Structure 1
Amino acid sequence: MDLFTPIVPKEKQHNHFLYMTEPGFCEPEIEVIKSWANGFIDRNGQLVQEFQTKFNSAFWELYLFACLKELGCTVDTSHETPDFLVSSSYGDFIAEAAITSHPEGFRPEWEKDHELLEKTKHKEILRLSAIRLEFSIDKKSRKYRTNYSKLPHVKNKPFVICVAPFEQPFFFLQDSLAIVRVLYGYEEVLSRRDTDGNLTIIGDSYNYRVQKKPGFNVNVGLFTNSKLKHVSAVIFNNRATWCKVRALAKTDKYPVIFSGSRAFQSDQQVGLYQFVEESPNYKETIADGLHILINPFAENPLDLKIFENREVALHNYDPKTGNYLSYLPNNFLLQRSCTTITSADHLQEFKKSLKEQNYKELEPEIWEEDDLIEFGGQIGHIHNNHMAHYKGWSVIVSLDSIDQDWSSITIQKLCYSISEFQFENSKGSYNSILLGEFFSTKEEAYIAMKKKIDEFKTT
């Protein structure tokens, strides 16, 4: 299969394909991608054209094919659908590839001017990514129900959706935060920093919806119930990018600087360490950064022995406790970016190629007034957090797990997460009210707090 001889006019070629085929620039990287394609059967004869015109979807399929083989699997691409029939010593499973792309009118990922980064909020990166990931997973889920499940080679085998994000210029900054939110509703770790600067984890927060636009929410936490029991797991790798190809390529033609972080695990400590290394000294495997996210309700569970003792992170959910669980092996690749040093002239030419046009953006998040939203999570013995906006105040209502009663706290500022509320409240810059009594239901506690707010506004 010849991926790199152009079969479409230059004006229809994808930016990434144009970049790679620039004469004398990316030969080592091209060899890496060619090696990924070894043995790949282009069953519908469209992969080469998609690689040259759409790029990301074909790139992700080729990566998955090569990665699964590296993990010791045999990958059959001869069936028209789904994408892969994967065989291993621990059983067969079906793998379907999917990517997220930018919504219509939004800035595509290849329009990547790093001057935009200062204007881009991390929480908005995560919000857009979560919206697009949920859309892609739901689309493949429905395809399985209506089509794939009826195929003889699919029946009674674990069905795995393999998804990669390419929906915005800085998609690589989301790590695994958005996909964990989509599948398990897990939002973030809650922490507190003392006067000496020491950081202590005090709890966690969940959130089971993502706002697409005011008045329209996307439900997440897809693996916290049995609605998607036909989906056994999700495979995800936000590090499967052009930097992955750069890391695997054997080149000393030009300097490439790799920076990021890896997990650190020992009997005494758990954490991460930062790295900055230059090629060819930097080392990375094809599976580095791979996440397997398990559905505990799967009717055909995936055997995880395939991934034992490999550089793969595992994620799961405990239906009995409602807790999100994760395991990261020592030296797991958490973050990584790369910078290629070519020339100032080359950089200026690249910037000129960026299209000057106005792109759509997500509308600012606005909650419906007086709507008590479940966030879950806990801080010590306080859990089952709920939050609402009421007359310019953010209200949190929580359950005391010891006494099994509800109370509430509020600040006069609109917050959109438990951690944001916690941070703003810690500054002491806003009016704050703490209920001095407890109630048998969250509704009673919320009503009591609204009454306090009404009284405060009239004084």
Structure 2
Amino acid sequence: MELFARLTGIDENSLHPKFKLLRDEYCYIGAKKIVEDWASDFIDRDGKLAIEFQTTFHSALWELYLHAVLKHLGFNINTERNRPDFIIQGAEEFYIEAVVSEIKSGGTLESERTHDDVLSMLSPISSRQEFSSLINEAIVRQSNSIQYKLKKYTGYADANGKWKKGYKETDWVDENKPFVIAISSYDQINYGKEYIYSMLALLYGWYFDPETGKFSKIEFIKKPGTQSEIKLGIFNDENFRDVSAIFFCNTMSMGKLSSLSKSSNFDPMFVMNVRYDFNPPFFKIHEVSPQSPEHLLDGLYLFKNPNAKVAFSNKAIKASGLMEMSVDEVGFAMEGSFRPVVARYCDLLGHAYKELIKATAASNYNDTVAELVALADRDDKSRGAVPPLLFQTPTYFIRIRRTLFALVVDR
């Protein structure tokens, strides 16, 4: 599929700013090549992906990324039907519906992002006010997107009372197979700082307090600027039992494309990730390079619904090391071999002062004088070999105990 060809009826003013950056800017040559590779064998069943990629951008980019992920995992994708977005065939058949959460009408646009916003990636969310401002907005936008896609699956009555047939009512969808929603966040300027906090609250009702470093269970938040209540812990709601799990990412951005390009070829961008590690200091600094690459699956998470009608567990996903989140009678658990991406800093000029950038991030996130720990060195001494990927190691399993709300590491 040709994504960057001029399309009839689409003028320059209708093109998305990020599309024009990929098309025109030298610093995104590698990132452009990544997207072109993803699109090379993508089957556009609706015949509108190129138009959406050029004009609205995010939803098309997210579908291309998901297609690349599914290929990487070795899945067989049915391309004969145009809905749901991805039908995975085989012994472990399941369905994926993709969606993005966008900036609200009247919200601050990404074009108004300042250098201070970029630099904010070097510091964690530190106050309750900052946290609620950022995460509550994310929760609202993501809740809307998830509910919209759930209705597509189950069916719904329109404004005139007419029933709109859902995917599960079609003759090619088996409602005894898992249904998964895949959501990518672009819902505010600093969506890259949302991490997994919005999902933990929205899906399980676990709301983080950055001033104490602990979680608490709450049932509602106030929609920002209103008195309307937004329900949390929706995986405990009977109405959401049709959703077996949710794929989530808040880092599928231009920075991700540059990072993947940087990982395999020369790329002019400086890319640095802040990664959560399960051993102290907990926040490790990852300068992306061919020797220390970012993986396609980095920053992608799977949240399982403990109350789903059809539970979701997949051998290929588990074997891949993708980070899976779940809840059982003990508490919340994270399992996988990819260190979570807490934040990403991407800057064309960052090479000139990269040591300062890395030291600043290490100090701010670990609340200490910078200690740039080389994870590969630590693993080399403790295990006798450097892992194939610097930030992918044998699977770790951590829990947040329901009673203590504290991290306990089990291996």
Contact 2:101 2:186 in 1 (8 A): yes
Q: How far off is 1:101 after superposition? A: 0.6
Residues 143 and 26 (structure 1), Cα distance of their counterparts in 2 relative to 1, 3 Å cut: same
Q: How far off is 1:214 after superposition? A: 3.3
Separation (CA, whole Å) in 1 of partners of 2:236 and 2:35? 37
What secondary structure does 2:198 align onto? Answer: helix
Root-mean-square deviation (CA, aligned residues, Å) is: 2.5
Could you tell me the TM-score, scaled by structure 1's length? Answer: 0.67
Separation (CA, whole Å) in 1 of partners of 2:59 and 2:269? 28
Q: How far off is 1:126 after superposition? A: 0.3
| 1:183 paired residue among 203, 207, 219 | 203
What secondary structure does 2:293 align onto? Answer: coil
Q: How far off is 1:125 after superposition? A: 0.9
Comparing 92-101 and 206-215, the one that deviates more? 206-215
| 2:304 paired residue among 294, 307, 312 | 294
Q: AA paired with 2:17?
A: N
Comparing 144-153 and 68-77, the one that deviates more? 68-77
Comparing 330-339 and 212-221, the one that deviates more? 330-339
Q: How far off is 1:153 after superposition? A: 1.9
| 1:71 paired residue among 73, 91, 105 | 73
Residues 255 and 97 (structure 1), Cα distance of their counterparts in 2 relative to 1, 3 Å cut: closer
Contact 1:131 1:210 in 2 (8 A): no
The aligned runs of 1:359-370 (5 Å cut-off) are none
Q: Tell me: higher relative CO, structure 1 or 2? Use CA pairs within 8 A at least 6 residues apart.
A: 2
| 2:268 paired residue among 254, 258, 275 | 254
Could you tell me the TM-score, scaled by structure 2's length? Answer: 0.74
Contact 2:274 2:344 in 1 (8 A): yes
Q: How far off is 1:6 after superposition? A: 2.5
2:179 aligned partner: 159
User: Are 2:360 and 1:332 equivalent residues in the alignment?
Assistant: no
Contact 1:6 1:52 in 2 (8 A): no
Separation (CA, whole Å) in 1 of partners of 2:59 and 2:211? 38
Unaligned runs of 5+ in 1: 193-200, 344-376, 381-459
1:4 aligned partner: 4
Separation (CA, whole Å) in 2 of partners of 1:77 and 1:108? 35
Contact 1:205 1:378 in 2 (8 A): no
Higher share of residues assigned helix: 2
Separation (CA, whole Å) in 1 of partners of 2:46 and 2:73? 26
What secondary structure does 1:315 align onto? Answer: strand
Contact 1:313 1:327 in 2 (8 A): yes
Unaligned runs of 5+ in 2: 156-165, 351-401, 406-411
Residues 38 and 76 (structure 1), Cα distance of their counterparts in 2 relative to 1, 3 Å cut: farther
Task: Report how many aligned residue pairs link the two structures.
Answer: 330
Q: AA paired with 2:38?
A: W
1:208 aligned partner: 219
Contact 1:287 1:312 in 2 (8 A): yes
Q: Deviations over 1:398-434 (max 9, x none)?
A: xxxxxxxxxxxxxxxxxxxxxxxxxxxxxxxxxxxxx
Contact 1:312 1:332 in 2 (8 A): no
Separation (CA, whole Å) in 1 of partners of 2:15 and 2:42? 22
Q: AA paired with 1:216?
A: S
Contact 2:303 2:325 in 1 (8 A): yes
Separation (CA, whole Å) in 2 of partners of 1:13 and 1:102? 17
Q: How far off is 1:270 after superposition? A: 6.7
Q: Deviations over 1:370-398 (max 9, x none)?
A: xxxxxxx7559xxxxxxxxxxxxxxxxxx
Contact 2:270 2:349 in 1 (8 A): no
Separation (CA, whole Å) in 2 of partners of 1:293 and 1:144? 18
Separation (CA, whole Å) in 2 of partners of 1:282 and 1:178? 29
Contact 2:277 2:284 in 1 (8 A): no
2:142 aligned partner: 133
| 1:263 paired residue among 254, 274, 277 | 277
Separation (CA, whole Å) in 2 of partners of 1:116 and 1:34? 29
Q: How far off is 1:154 after superposition? A: 1.4
Separation (CA, whole Å) in 2 of partners of 1:316 and 1:227? 19
Q: Deviations over 1:322-374 (max 9, x none)?
A: x4x1214344133241323259xxxxxxxxxxxxxxxxxxxxxxxxxxxxxxx
Contact 1:82 1:94 in 2 (8 A): yes
Residues 93 and 217 (structure 1), Cα distance of their counterparts in 2 relative to 1, 3 Å cut: same
Which of the pair has more CA radius of gyration? 1
Q: How far off is 1:276 after superposition? A: 4.2
Q: AA paired with 1:65?
A: H
